[in-house]
Amino acid sequence: MQNGNGKWKTWGLAAKESIIAYFRTFAIVWRSGALSLSGMMLLTLSLGVLPVGEFFVTEHLVNAITAAIGDTGWWRQVVPWLLGLLGLQIYSTLADQLREPLRLNVRENIEIWISEGIARKSNTMELIEFQTPEFQNALARARTMSGDELEEIVWWIVDSLQQLISVVALGIVLWGLHPLLALLPMVTGIASWWSGSRFAVDAYSLDVEQTPQRRERDALEGILTDRGAGKEVRLYQAQDLWIERWRKLWRELIEKQQAIERRKFLAHLMIGISRALLYACSLILLLLAVFRGGLTVGKYIAAISAIVNLDGIWDNVAGYFLLIADEMRRLSGDLYSFLDLDTKTVGKAPSTSQKAPDLAAAQEPSYLQIENVSFFYPNAQAPVLQHVNLTLNKGERVALVGPNGAGKSTLARLLLGLYRPQAGVIRLDDIPLNDENRQQWLTHCSAVFQDFTCYHLTARENIIFGDLEHPERMEVASTAGGAASVIDRLNEGYETVLGPTFGGRDLSGGEWQRIATARGFMRETPWLVVLDEPTAALDPLAEQAIYERFIQRSAGRTSLIISHRLSSVRTCDRILVLDNGTIVEDGDHETLLANDGLYAQFFRAQAQWYV
């Protein structure tokens, strides 16, 4: 158990973090639209004095009406106060209407800031992080935040200030009639805030706890509505199984939430009853004052209206404070914690004692070497690569083969600098590939991945992503990658939108692969080119043409080809055989056949079907 000092320390730390989060939020909103925010605040605060104005206008109006009964010139006494009341209502409506476009401007700018911040933070994270449930949970929670939340926090703070101005003003007026008239509404307001705070903390804790279940629920919903998964779901008649599992998750989520809502209902019911009793006490106090002759009818009616108004304002203030605390809890725990994630904590290789030289200033490397490199995937029971040693010389054409799961694609991504090894060192000549120069190394590399991305954009955009600085190379790359024949069949050529998401032309797997291969051929002068199963979806003639063009374009560059089709790799300078995360064979085609090892077994197993 924490002692008293420990509790105060924890509370103080939480308060400090909350204050920092408030200032951070206000700074973000201010940068998103200082002028709009200033106008919105001025209009909102000006509305805070309206209840007091309504109190005095109502009092004089009622007194004028009672005094003018039977007087033929009654309108001279009554109309000015009616016009005053009407003027206050018009100003209130006008101020509300003027605030809305200002709110919209601030909200949209904040929305842009949040989305861009999440995208940029995701882009700085290690790729391996995306495979951890912790990161996916954090990303899912950050994505639930929007510009509405940040803008509404500031809106609620300003509205709270407006309400507090009204509370003070009306409280002073009612205190003059009787102190209890000002204090009783405050009691129920504070009780509402305290009760709501308790349940808000419970609700947020449950919300965090249920994040994995919600992600699973959404994934199941994706299976049921995805076109790709639909063919298997329908073929195997698995709809009922997935729907029942999806429904069960929904029920489990809702049941826990409803338990909190039931306790919240009972607490708020008791507060509501207490509010009604305190309101009755206030009415009795006013009636006694009237019968003693201390109040006029106009002041009595105005006081009743002010009490109802003050009670509602206290309720609003309590509600605003609860909403602000709840949203700040989500902002700090979900969005800000995600944006503040350390990008260099997971999978960090041992640091070198000296800072590596700048690749841009160094000479072009003559070899790429990995020394004693090991690599683990998150939550894996064993390393996917173990103590791997390898040197790739400039201009070599190297093939990487091996059984599924041997670590071929992982090794390629380490060589590209996309992954950081947990042990060992990767060097370019004598320059270690570290955090400072990995981004530079990426500009010296090109790749066609096995799990390439199908961008549902134009064909032009799909291809030039490979080298945005040299879009003029697009047609040459299209020819080299075999995509030119695909483009020729599109109605609008390179401007054709691909994929069904935005009503574009869908392509076959082989056609998409040609587009991806052209994208990988956009860079004309990479030091390292990686082809990871680049022809898996192509017919034999297209595959042969791709490899022939690849051999031409990779002359003088280091190339790494990953393939299960051994007929495609037999002409490489070296063939590396990877098994259980270790390189077990290294040599050319003839040498490996003569060794009669794993490569020879693979080759004979494939060759028998062609004999």
Res. 576: pLDDT tops 90? yes
Cβ–Cβ under 8 Å, residues 327 and 203: no
At 446-456, the pLDDT tens digits run 888 877 888 88
Whole-number Å distance between alpha carbons of 268 and 374: 58
At residue 575, the pLDDT reads 92
Res. 587: pLDDT tops 60? yes
pLDDT tier at 18 (50, 70, 90 boundaries)?
Answer: low
Rounded mean pLDDT of 277-290? 74
Res. 196: pLDDT tops 70? no
At 173-193, the pLDDT tens digits run 778 777 777 777 777 767 776
Pairing type for strands 582-587 and 574-579 reads antiparallel
Q: Say which residue, 409 or 35, is predicted with more confidence.
A: 409
CA dihedral (138, 143, 146, 152) positive or negative: negative
At 232-242, the pLDDT tens digits run 676 667 777 77
Rounded mean pLDDT of 513-521? 86
At 125-135, the pLDDT tens digits run 887 887 787 88
Which residue reads 């709501």 in tokens? 196
Res. 513: pLDDT tops 80? yes
Tokens encoding 343:
């990008």
Rounded mean pLDDT of 128-155? 77
pLDDT tier at 258 (50, 70, 90 boundaries)?
Answer: confident
Rounded mean pLDDT of 7-20? 57
Rounded mean pLDDT of 516-542? 77
At 371-390, the pLDDT tens digits run 999 998 887 778 899 999 99
Cβ–Cβ under 8 Å, residues 154 and 26: yes
**For a pLDDT cut of 90, what percent of the chain falls above it?**
10
Q: How many angstroms from the chain centroid is the CA of residue 304?
A: 49
The residues that bridge with 374 in the sheet, in sequence order, are 423
At residue 609, the pLDDT reads 67
Q: Say which residue, 107 or 403, is predicted with more confidence.
A: 403
At residue 353, the pLDDT reads 42
The mean pLDDT of the chain is 78
Question: What is the chain's alpha carbon radius of gyration, rounded to the nearest angstrom?
Answer: 35
Cβ–Cβ under 8 Å, residues 211 and 137: yes
Length of the chain: 611
Map out the domains of the chain as residue ranges. 32-339, 453-525
Cβ–Cβ under 8 Å, residues 278 and 259: no
Res. 13: pLDDT tops 60? no
Cβ–Cβ under 8 Å, residues 401 and 578: yes
**For a pLDDT cut of 70, what percent of the chain falls above it?**
86
Q: 16-20, 244-248, 442-446 — which is least confidently predicted?
A: 16-20
At residue 317, the pLDDT reads 75
Tokens encoding 437:
């120069």
Res. 391: pLDDT tops 70? yes
- In 3D space, the residue among 498, 501, 482 whose CA is nearest the CA of residue 490 turns out to be 498
pLDDT tier at 436 (50, 70, 90 boundaries)?
Answer: confident
C-alpha distances in Å from residue 313, one per residue of 51, 169, 197, 254: 10, 12, 18, 32
Q: 31-35, 226-230, 348-352 — which is least confidently predicted?
A: 348-352
Q: For the chain, how many helices (H) and strands (E)? A: 21, 10
End-to-end CA distance of the chain: 77
Res. 364: pLDDT tops 90? no
Rounded mean pLDDT of 508-515? 85
Q: Say which residue, 189 or 1, is predicted with more confidence.
A: 189
Whole-number Å distance between alpha carbons of 384 and 412: 13
Rounded mean pLDDT of 490-507? 88
At residue 254, the pLDDT reads 82
C-alpha distances in Å from residue 365, one per residue of 360, 430, 560: 11, 9, 16
- Buried b / exposed e along 8-38 (16+ C-beta atoms within 10 A): eeeeeeeeeeeeebbebbeebbeebbeebbe
Helix (H) or strand (E) holding 144: none
pLDDT tier at 195 (50, 70, 90 boundaries)?
Answer: low
Res. 503: pLDDT tops 60? yes
Whole-number Å distance between alpha carbons of 226 and 238: 14
Tokens encoding 131:
């495979």
C-alpha distances in Å from residue 152, one per residue of 40, 129, 165, 265, 334: 12, 32, 19, 25, 17
DSSP-derived 3-state class of residue 210: coil
Cα 196-312-180 angle, rounded to 5 deg: 100
At residue 374, the pLDDT reads 92
DSSP string, 358-427: PTTTSPPPSEEEEEEEEE--TT-SS-SEEEEEEEEETT-EEEEE-STTSSHHHHHHHHHTSS--SEEEEE
pLDDT tier at 493 (50, 70, 90 boundaries)?
Answer: very high
Rounded mean pLDDT of 57-61? 81
Whole-number Å distance between alpha carbons of 478 and 463: 8
Interhelix angle 179-209/211-225, nearest 10 degrees: 60
Whole-number Å distance between alpha carbons of 231 and 155: 48
At residue 347, the pLDDT reads 38
At residue 12, the pLDDT reads 53
Rounded mean pLDDT of 526-534? 81
The residues that bridge with 143 in the sheet, in sequence order, are none
Res. 524: pLDDT tops 80? no
Res. 363: pLDDT tops 70? no
Q: How many angstroms from the chain centroid is the CA of residue 261?
A: 28
Is the domain defined by 32-339 classed in CATH 1.20.1560.10?
A: yes
| Full-model pTM | 0.63
Cβ–Cβ under 8 Å, residues 566 and 606: yes
